[in-house]
Amino acid sequence: MDQLADLLADLGGGAACRSTAAALHQFPGYRLERPFHVVLERPRRLVRVNHHLHTSTALERVDLCTLEGVRATSPSRTIIDLASRSTPDHTRALIAFATGAGLTSVDLLFRRIAALRSRGRAGVRPTLAVLANIEAGSNRPSWLEREFLELLQSAGLPRPSTEQVLARRGTHLIRVDAHFDGTPLVVELLGYAFHRTVMQMETDAERLNRLQMAGYVVLQFTYLQVAERPDWVVEEVRAALHHFSVVT
């Protein structure tokens, strides 16, 4: 610990990151040993022999913490950074440990991913893929669905019914994410994928067409819109409900 503290003092700032931060957070399989990994805010570019110095334009206060007097990336940021060079199974194990130990939560990880995506963090996509897989195996609503409902509640808007079957696409039932009872208004939440496949886009188009032919008005919001533009999402829903005279 003293050697790491001395290195940070010599650099005049920065924070322990990646495997070094993981060791400080006591993630299983990591030891605090040289060479240390340290992240510095750009445009600083320094070199220290036998250590790994990284730079970042996205080093916000929420991504930092102090452990025994040593500055380090937070558990959430550490997981995201490590995911860029980890297998999905290893990333899943890190998430399981960190959430189980109360170091982070799935909701917080989703929020940090949304904030860091535009900064080009290499670990964002693999972390998001693992989180989406974790949620797919659970019986609870996704973070996206929970966040959307919480936004409506905070804004004093009516709570919609969820997972309702409203139409058919061939032999497949069309189950929508949210439907406001007594209105034709439907909200569909467009998952976590950054780029949808051709097949997914075709399926989405068919779903939308069938819902419209059945008389429903469909609003679609992406994961990033809900995470990064919540006020706009709320106002879009409010305007639609006002159109149907549900709210004033």
For 16-32, write each residue's pLDDT tens digit. Answer: 999 999 999 999 999 99
The residue behind tokens 């206060």 is 61
Distances from the Cα of 83 to the Cα of 22, 68, 77, 92, angstroms: 12, 25, 10, 9
Give the per-residue pLDDT at 195: 65
Q: For the chain, what percent of residues have pLDDT higher than 90?
A: 55
Pseudo-torsion of CA 69, 75, 79, 80, nearest 10°?
-90
Sign of the alpha-carbon torsion through 206, 207, 210, 212: negative
- Average confidence (pLDDT) over 203-219: 91
- Asked whether residue 123 carries a pLDDT value surpassing 70, the answer given is yes
CATH classification number, 143-243, choose in 3.90.190.20, 3.40.50.1980, 3.40.960.10, 3.10.20.30? 3.40.960.10
Contacts of 207 (CB under 8 A, 6+ apart): 169, 174, 188
Mean pLDDT of the chain: 89
pTM: 0.80
Higher pLDDT, 7 or 79: 79
**Tokens read off for 150:** 């919480």
pLDDT tier at 60, thresholds 50, 70, 90: confident
- Asked whether residue 115 carries a pLDDT value surpassing 70, the answer given is yes
Determine the straight-line distance between the first and last CA of the chain, rounded to whole angstroms.
Answer: 60
Pseudo-torsion of CA 221, 223, 225, 229, nearest 10°?
130
Percent helix / strand / coil, the chain, rounded to 5: 45, 20, 35
- Asked whether residue 119 carries a pLDDT value surpassing 70, the answer given is no
pLDDT (tens digit per residue) in 73-106: 999 999 999 999 999 999 999 999 999 999 999 9
CA atoms of 105 and 107, how far apart (whole Å):
5
Question: In the chain, what are the domain boundaries?
Answer: 2-136, 143-243
